[in-house]
Amino acid sequence: MTRLYLFATLAGERVAIMAEEVEAVVSLSDISPVPGLGSHVAGLSALRSRVLTVLDIAMLLHGTSTAVEQRQLAIIAEIGGHSYALMVDGLSDICRASGGQQPLRGQLYPAWRLYARAMVEHEGRSWLLVSPSAFLGSGIADQAA
């Protein structure tokens, strides 16, 4: 049996995320900045009476913030008992990939090397398989340094 994946564009790159790692896909209404956190933390937002830490993956990877008009759509993931929102550029599909996971191949943009675990083929295109928790782990390590 093949796994279910969410296919999205994240920080300008086509990515696949295993569906079991995604709690929801939502439109964020407001993001409140929090001083003193890493620049990749866009701020806090509320969703159904709980607080989400909103991560700007474009800032983490490229050092450039996601444009304000593109900050509405997010993937929600629970990591370590806390809720996080990863801002995404867009969503493509949620479906099974009959080819499953394949080894990484070809040239990867250097910033993605820390996060890409494999490739997933979908509709004749390659998508980087990433995990939301990988972005959080890196952010914590960057702040501790």
Say which CATH number the domain at 71 has: 2.40.50.180
pTM of the model: 0.86
Q: What is the pLDDT of residue 98?
A: 77
Q: What is the pLDDT of residue 72?
A: 83
Residues shown for the chain: 145
Q: What is the pLDDT of residue 56?
A: 94
HSE-CB for 4 with a 13 A CA cutoff? 7
How many domains would you assign to the chain?
Answer: 1
Please list the residues that pair with 53 across neighbouring strands: 44, 84
Which pair of tokens denotes residue 68?
């304000």
Q: What is the pLDDT of residue 140?
A: 44
HSE-CB for 105 with a 13 A CA cutoff? 8
Q: What is the mean pLDDT of each run of 10 residues along the chain (145 residues)?
A: 87 94 91 89 90 93 82 90 93 87 85 92 91 75 37
Q: What is the pLDDT of residue 124?
A: 87
Q: Which domain holds residue 43?
A: 4-144
